[in-house]
Copies of this chain bind each other. A is one copy, B any other.
């Protein structure tokens, strides 16, 4: 079996015209008025559909010096926040005739590999989400003519548009809220990253504000799988001096905490308060509904627009999009105490 991708030349032969004519018909727009007679136009289109012709991307991109593709780089799947983001970006990109592919990094190694791919022009633009890329690495991408938008609170770089959130401030408020309500043994589940973790920083700062000491045994690295999370929390709740509140880096972990608490016979919020992060829709239908911290808006259209805008106009000044996060009070923290 031979791969028989028809070429422009074959279409031209089939239609009995030159390749340039075919190209004109297909690409339409060209400088000034390149009109094609309706007759040849039809013949060309006929030939195209007969052969099932479709232009070769590599050739087109080589010639045009652009891929008409965007790449969203995610650390991993399974995060609702990312899923919404991908949907919105894909929708907006589509309107602007860009295709979207997703690359998964996961490990630092894989991250480097994706960086390579991008350097080699996998796409014209990148939306890098929460990765561990350094400013230097990102700037190298920009230097090779790739538009970069970064969703990250810690990293930034020249020529890179950034989407930042006020999440750390919201985390701080959340912890303070727990402390105000009288909770004292607050467990904090953080996510390991290369840089600093906003959750942890907010946690420490809040304890400081209330002049409370840090208990290291309450600072817990979030396990990978949900089941492992459940087991870790269960263990935590069964120990001698159990925490009276749990602050987590994700709503999924928080919901898991709700399950673990129920199974351990603890009442939420009276025996145990829980605060999540991310404000996923599930949080509204747990019982009690989940008090959480999350973005005030989940519309990522503007992020996509910003990326595409830079693509069209690479020399414009760098921009920062600030997204408000807020404490969303529902039912998993007690009001009295």
Contact = CB atoms under 8 A, between A and B. Distances in A.
Interface of A: 1-5, 52, 54-62, 65, 67, 71, 76-78, 80, 82-83, 86-87, 90, 94, 99-104, 106, 110, 113, 116-117, 119-122, 140, 143-146, 159, 225-227, 230, 256, 259-260, 262-263, 281-282, 284-287, 314-315
A122 B61 CA distance: 11
Contacts of A55: 120
10 contacts: A3-B144, A5-B121, A5-B145, A76-B87, A86-B104, A90-B104, A99-B103, A99-B122, A226-B282, A263-B287
Contact of A113 (B94, B140, B260, B281): B94
A77 B67 contact: no
A30 to B, nearest CB: 21
Copies in the complex: 2
A287 to B, nearest CB: 5
Contacts of A54: 116, 119-120, 144
B58 A121 contact: yes
A295 B43 CA distance: 52
Given A285-B227, A287-B262, A101 B99 contact: no
Given A100-B103, A259-B286, 8 more contacts: A1-B159, A54-B119, A55-B120, A56-B62, A58-B59, A60-B120, A99-B113, A101-B103
A102 B104 contact: yes
B121 A57 contact: yes
A227 B284 contact: yes
Contacts of A230: 285
A83 B90 contact: no
B226 A285 contact: yes
A56 B226 CA distance: 41
Contacts of A52: 140
A62 B117 CA distance: 16
A52 B137 CA distance: 11
A59 B62 CA distance: 6
A58 B230 CA distance: 47
Contacts of A82: 77
A2 B62 contact: no
